A and B are shown apart, each in its own frame.
Chain A
Amino acid sequence: MTQAQMQHLSAKAREVRINTLKSIGHLGIGHVGGALSIVEVLTYLYYDAMTVHPDTPRHPDRDRLVLSKGHAGPALYSILAMKGFFPMEWLYTLNVGGTRLPSHCDRNLTPGIDMTTGSLGQGLSAAVGIALACRMDKRKSTVYAIIGDGESQEGQVWEAAMTAPMFKLDNLIAFTDFNKMQIDGKTADIMNIEKLEAKWSAFGWHTQRINGHDFAELDKAVAAAREASGTPSMIILDTIKGKGCPAAENKVSSHNMPLSADDLEEALSALTAAEGDA
């Protein structure tokens, strides 16, 4: 990945953060923490790795994404709007009655959303089904899935963890957003999910662990995952919950939090200042 590409992605990631915070800030409350921790992976996927068709969202040869931690929808909506799947103005309709952008992802409401999610633990199984169907149809599509660290406490995740290698789904690349926090506290204190790499490896996945905010590492890891033959891939992302928003960053309380006008202003100033540094 060239320096110019990195700078381009960094600029896009800042834009995604700004749009996500404006979207949630307009409503005044939302899942800030877990949306901001996956901004880099989403940016990398939609501005580099994935083939998508904003004018034909269900194009059969597209790559798919199942955002299993569906509460992070607002971050994905920001990218989808930026990519042209729907007008940017929609971002200000988050959770308004009758909206096309509900807090949790809905495949029937939002162009570009591939699977309905929100009850934690279910998305990876759906991604397995989508990957099976893509293989049956001999498509070259890659199916991506993003699960949460708290979500990884759900038993169904580990059912799917057995199923995907059993069916040799090397068209499936999953990420774990390991921001180390869940609603009730730190994952290490509530229900420890470590040793996470050893777990996924033991289940038969090609497993890597990287800094989830580093585009060079994301690029290298996804390339390695694509090379892995005959097995699905898990890329564990070490991330910071609420990254880029001072009111939320590294705070357990950021899962679903009020975002005041002052909080928003503070975050936008910080992000704009960061832009100047770059």
Chain B
Amino acid sequence: MGKDMRDVYTETLIELAEKDDRICVLEADLMNATGTRPFSQRFPERTFDVGVSEADMVGTASGLSAEGKIPFAASFSTFASRRVFDQFFLSANYARLNVKLVGTDPGITATYNGGTHMSFEDVGMMRLIPDLTIVEPSDIVSCAALVKAVARHSGCVYLRMHRKGSQELYPADTEFTLGKGCVLRDGTDVTLIASGFVMVPEALRAAELLEKSGISAAVIDMHTIKPLDAELVVAYAKKTGAIVTCENHQTAGGLGGAVAELLAEEHPTRMGRIGSQERFGQVGTFEYLLNDYRMDAVSIAEKAENVIKRR
């Protein structure tokens, strides 16, 4: 296997920081988890670990940004959303600053940390912040490219980032644009719109299962959840007539909510949503949780078949 997602995140930040002295890193006692220690060793004067005080971390990042710095501040996605929502909303976003807030261990990837650490609502909360960009890379290639795009983007970003494990879904030189989803597989009967490290590969596996049943499924990696690639969603709604969203998050408020809101206004389309259904998190292995929340490929394929039957 290749490098972990967090290694790619950190290497990319170091690469950016070598050329741009505005890049800095903030941590709240999770530097080893986020994997940014090599950054702190290379740029000690641009690394600030504030201890277990996430609200202060976001406020400090906002102050750095007010002076033109480009701070990347990270914590587990539960703390990077629920714990600091007002600080991120006001000190960073309302103040029109340029803070990159990184939420790691999204959804079921919190595994043994369980319900207290399992974010099924972070994307939904973040979607309510005007002009915020929300990004969730699905592999190490998109991670490196999107971290660079996030740094270039002028404005606040919530980067929902899987940190442990590695996978490559794209050729090394693939180009990514914020706000433009990637069609990983074309199809004509249904479109699976997925986001993130967990759900994009599950959607690809589901497409293979559907193919065996004679159903042609397109798969889109919606790495930017906000702003949503409306053009692409509507085009595939028209092309396939059925949509299933796949997210490691609640089915309300996140990617599924965003797609449903868009289609209800622009092109009403039969839809299904994969994700946690009105439930809190819990402890368990990754496989247990994937099945228990019915986020696995088989569940996605079943959902797709049911949506198609409603034709």
Contacts and interface: CB of A to CB of B under 8 A. Distances in A.
Contact of B51 (A125, A137, A162): A162
25 contacts: A108-B96, A115-B95, A116-B91, A119-B90, A122-B86, A122-B91, A123-B59, A124-B59, A125-B63, A125-B91, A126-B91, A127-B63, A129-B63, A129-B65, A129-B67, A132-B64, A133-B66, A133-B67, A136-B45, A136-B69, A137-B67, A159-B55, A162-B56, A163-B50, A163-B56
B87 interface: yes
B53 A132 contact: no
A211 interface: no
B62 interface: yes
B66 A115 contact: yes
A176 to B, nearest CB: 17
A90 interface: no
Interface of B: 24, 45-46, 48, 50-51, 53, 55-56, 58-69, 71, 86-87, 90-91, 94-96
A65 to B, nearest CB: 12
B42 to A, nearest CB: 15
B91 A130 contact: no
A119 B68 CA distance: 22
Contacts of A124: 59
B95 A132 contact: no
Nearest to A160: B56
A91 interface: no
Nearest to B91: A122
Interface in A125-177: 125-134, 136-137, 155-156, 159-160, 162-163, 166-167
B17 to A, nearest CB: 12
A133 B69 contact: yes
Nearest to B96: A108
A163 B66 contact: no
A116 B46 CA distance: 24
Most buried by B among A66, A160, A166: A160
Given A66-B63, A107-B66, 12 more contacts: A106-B95, A108-B96, A115-B66, A116-B91, A132-B63, A136-B24, A155-B55, A156-B53, A156-B55, A156-B59, A163-B56, A166-B50
A28 interface: no
Nearest to B59: A125
Interface residues of A, number: 33
Contacts of B58: 125
Contacts of A136: 24, 45-46, 69
B55 A126 contact: no
A129 B62 contact: yes
A118 interface: yes
Nearest to A104: B90
A122 B94 CA distance: 13
A63 interface: no
A66 B91 CA distance: 12
Most buried by B among A124, A127, A128, A137: A128
A145 to B, nearest CB: 10
A123 B95 CA distance: 12
Contacts of A40: none
Contacts of B69: 133, 136
A114 B59 contact: no
A167 B51 CA distance: 12
Contacts of A119: 86, 90-91
Given A107-B95, A115-B95, A133-B69, A163 B46 contact: no
A23 B68 CA distance: 33
A116 B56 CA distance: 15
Contacts of A130: 63-64, 66-67
B69 to A, nearest CB: 5
Given A131-B63, A159-B56, A162-B53, A125 B87 contact: yes
A47 to B, nearest CB: 24
B60 A128 contact: yes
Given A122-B90, A163-B50, A167-B48, A115 B55 contact: no
